[in-house]
Amino acid sequence: MIQRLFRITLTLSVLLSASLSQAETQFVSRNSLGLGFTDNANLETEEKNPDFFYTLRTGNRFRHERLNLGLSLHATDYFKESINDALSWRTLASYEVVDRWSLEGAVFGLKFLRGEPGFSEASFNYVGFGLAAEKEISLGASTDLTYRPFYEYRSYSSLEGRKDHTIAFQGTLSFEANDAWTFDTHGEFGRIFSNQGEFDHRYFEVGTRSDYELTSDLSLGGDLGFRIANYMNRLLTETTVISKRRNRRLAASTTNSEKLTDFYLSAGLKYSITQKLDINGTWTLTSRQSRSDNQNFKVNEILALLVFTL
């Protein structure tokens, strides 16, 4: 599957690049083929399932004056834990209405190719669409601020017809310390309304990324961030013994909503063979802690990518 998709993607990218360049329309196609290893393919708390996997990504962007069109695909193929084999896709169109103000629409989906693993809330099939407005502001010669309110709708093929509506706000601050060192810090908060109350939740996410060029061909990069989600309709009751007197047991009970806390950390190395061909290596740590302890996991992943741009 990965091999066929790779050949199709490469052929289409070359043909589109040639035709669009003749029409004086900007076109960029960024593609990658990778081999990775994870020590916890099924997101288990204790009995982890290590596995290797292939990955194929393609991101294609068309630009004509104020109009932008995009198409991206991401396929993953596991050696043993094939229940996780998946294909995700996203198409988008954005238009710059006035200077640095853009409107965007997107259609996207996720399809697991051998059934739904269901190891987390992100491992179920869905399709959806999104609408957003984006504004870019220059805060100086080396600092930019981008903010975007957005709405997303997702429909799940299982989970008894689950449908989610997301209303959120996102902001990104970009800073160039010098010609070699850059920083990007982002924050996002939102509310997800679901037709199934157990999936209703509020969330908040913050993260930062830094890239540093060691030489013209070699650079380092890293990410750090966390996400907190509060599920208001998943109530947990905890009883605590506060004293024991005369063979009588006194206890106090507290009720809280379920909370998931995700943390991620990554470090990577990029080497440019040519202007259009790179080799990337990345290590990523992802962990989750839940108030109920039912969804705790930790994952280490190593990924090597061959990236080529057309």
Lowest mean pLDDT among 180-184, 219-223, 254-258, 271-275: 254-258
More confident call, 269 vs 140: 269
In CATH, what is the architecture of 2-309?
Beta Barrel (2.40)
**Strand, coil or helix: what is 275?**
coil
Q: Return phi, psi of residue 200, to 5°.
A: -60, 135
- Residue-wise pLDDT for 201-238, tens only, equals 999 999 999 999 999 999 999 999 999 999 999 887 76
Asked whether residue 21 carries a pLDDT value surpassing 50, the answer given is no
Residue 297 per-residue DSSP state: E
Name, in order, each residue with C-beta under 8 angstroms of 199's C-beta and a sequence gap of 6 or more: 121, 162, 164, 192, 231
The pLDDT > 70 percentage for the chain reads 87
Strand segments (E) across 26-142: 26-38, 51-64, 67-78, 86-98, 101-112, 126-138
Q: What is the mean pLDDT of residues 173-193?
A: 96
- Model confidence at 119, in pLDDT bands (50, 70, 90)? confident
Give the pLDDT band (50/70/90) at residue 122: confident
Write down the pTM of the prediction: 0.85
What does the pLDDT read at residue 160? Answer: 79
| pLDDT at 94 (0 to 100) | 96
